[in-house]
């Protein structure tokens, strides 16, 4: 009995010793795992700090950035019915190419009428010049007649006065005849002077008609230019090179001036990046930028800062903030920064960029 008890006691002692050894091994294992985790954490921290110190602190980045470009709204300058549509959606067009043609017959008729009226006025011009030349000749003739009548009147008047003062004896009939001659000369002088006034009035009227004709020619020239301009408006052209988008015009429809028919999106693109105001302290135009486009995550594009907008976004909104009224809560503002691409791959067949695409620019500030 004692031997059995001793065996059981020894067995318990061995099991207890084994449990102690297992606990020691488990603690050592946990310490090793903890040490390994701690080492990994220290390594990650060192790597992160090194990445920040040697890379991130030299860059400023934002995900509030998009592709931007010029979008031209195409509209008609005159009313008319659509006769031809020469483009389709997403088609590339060159600046100055015809997009839409309107019915031009009414505007062509207006031009023809203005040209016909101009031809009539031009035909009248030589006739008016001839009339003025003849009227000037008549005026000179009547002016010469005035001088002749004036000399004749002065002669008859002097003779009559001399006859009256003469001591010689003149019959009453002779004095009456000389008096009548003097009055007749005065009447002829007055008639000649009236003829001068009449011919002067005719000449002034002719010159006024010529001046009116000249003014009409100038007015008709303006009307012709206007008619030509309106006729040119029947061909709606592309204001810039780019791709046609949002085409809403249809063949045969009647359009009014100012209605948007389509848009032409330019291929000249840039980036509008809205950086926080706290990121701008070391940012300057000309700094290099590395750009990632969400649509092509496998590529990186080179660019540079072109300019920084003088004003935050809310300043140019329709309802800018009134910080002087009510309770004020400070909010970090964002400032638009224009970034232009320097990468030659932009907008080639494999890298087309459209306005509104999201990008992530990394500005090298140091």
Q: State pLDDT tens for residues 254-308.
A: 999 989 999 999 989 999 999 999 999 999 999 999 999 999 999 999 999 999 9
In a domain, 213, yes or no: yes
Any domain includes 178: yes
In terms of pLDDT, which residue wins out, 192 or 82?
Answer: 82
Q: pLDDT, tens digit, for every residue of 153-191? A: 666 666 666 666 664 555 556 556 666 666 666 777 677
From 107, 56, 121, select the one nearest 78 (Cα to Cα). 107
How many Å separate Cα 164 from the centre of its chain? Answer: 92
The number of distinct structural domains making up the chain is 3
Residue 39 lies in a domain: no
| pLDDT value at 1 more than 50 | no
In eight-state DSSP terms, residue 324 is: T
| Residue 76 pLDDT level (bands cut at 50, 70, 90) | very high
CATH code (residue 195): 1.10.287
Binned at pLDDT 50, 70 and 90, residue 63 comes out as very high
Average model confidence (pLDDT) across the chain: 83
Question: 65 and 27 in one domain?
Answer: no
| 289 and 326 together in one domain | yes
- List b or e across 69-104, with b for residues whose CB sees 16 or more CB atoms inside 10 angstroms: beebebebebebebeebebeeeeebeeeeebbebeb
What CATH number does the domain containing 323 carry?
A: 2.40.30.170
Query: For residue 55, what pLDDT band results from cuts at 50, 70 and 90?
Result: low
266 and 226 part of one domain: no
Query: Is there a single domain that holds both residue 148 and residue 200?
Result: yes
Are the C-beta atoms of residues 340 and 270 closer than 8 Å to each other? yes
> Strand, helix or coil at 73?
strand
Q: Is the pLDDT of residue 7 over 60?
A: no
Domain of residue 17, residue span:
1-31
Q: Is residue 281 part of a domain?
A: yes
What own/partner pairs with CB < 8 Å and gap ≥ 24 does 161-166 have?
A: none
Domain presence at residue 93: no
216 and 312 both lie in a single domain: no
DSSP-derived secondary structure for 281-314: TT--TT-EEEEEETTEEEEEEEEEEEEE-SS-GG
Q: Establish if 237 belongs to a structural domain.
A: no
Q: Are residues 109 and 206 in the same domain?
A: yes
Same domain, residue pair 133 and 72: no
**Does residue 200 form part of some domain?**
yes
Mean pLDDT over 63-82 rounds to: 95
Percent of the chain with pLDDT over 90: 45
Give the pLDDT score at 243: 94
Q: Is 334 domain-assigned?
A: yes
């Amino acid at each position: 009995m004692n031997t059995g008890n001793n065996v059981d006691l020894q067995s318990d002692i061995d099991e207890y010793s084994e449990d102690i050894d297992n606990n020691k091994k488990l603690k050592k294992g946990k310490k090793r795992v903890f040490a390994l985790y701690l080492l990994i954490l220290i390594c990650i921290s060192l790597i992160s700090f090194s990445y920040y110190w040697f890379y991130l602190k030299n860059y400023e980045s934002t995900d509030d950035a998009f592709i931007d470009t010029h979008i031209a709204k195409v509209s008609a300058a005159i009313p008319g019915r659509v006769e031809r549509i020469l483009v389709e959606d997403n088609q590339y067009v060159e600046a100055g190419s015809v997009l839409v043609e309107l019915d031009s017959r009414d505007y062509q008729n207006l031009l023809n009428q203005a040209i016909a009226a101009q031809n009539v006025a031009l035909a009248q011009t030589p006739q008016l010049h001839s009339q003025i030349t003849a009227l000037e000749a008549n005026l000179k003739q009547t002016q010469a007649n005035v001088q002749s009548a004036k000399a004749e009147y002065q002669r008859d008047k002097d003779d009559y006065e001399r006859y009256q003062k003469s001591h010689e004896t003149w019959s009453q009939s002779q004095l009456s005849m000389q008096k009548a001659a003097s009055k007749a000369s005065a009447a002829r002088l007055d008639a000649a002077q009236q003829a001068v006034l009449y011919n002067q009035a005719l000449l002034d009227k002719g010159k006024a008609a010529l001046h009116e004709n000249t003014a009409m020619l100038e007015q008709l020239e303006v009307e012709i230019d206007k008619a030509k301009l309106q006729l040119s408006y029947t061909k709606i052209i592309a204001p810039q090179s780019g791709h046609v988008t949002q085409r809403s015009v249809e063949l045969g429809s009647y359009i009014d001036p100012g209605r948007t028919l389509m848009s032409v999106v330019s291929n000249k693109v840039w980036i509008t990046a809205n950086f926080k105001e706290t990121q701008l302290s070391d940012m300057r135009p000309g700094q290099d930028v590395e750009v990632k486009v969400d649509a092509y995550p496998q590529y990186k594009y080179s660019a540079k800062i072109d300019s920084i907008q003088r004003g935050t976004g809310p300043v140019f909104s329709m309802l800018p903030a009134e910080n002087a009224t009510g309770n004020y809560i400070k909010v970090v503002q964002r400032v638009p920064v224009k970034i232009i691409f320097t990468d030659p791959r932009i907008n080639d067949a494999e890298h087309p960029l459209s306005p509104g695409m999201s990008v992530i620019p990394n500005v090298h500030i140091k």
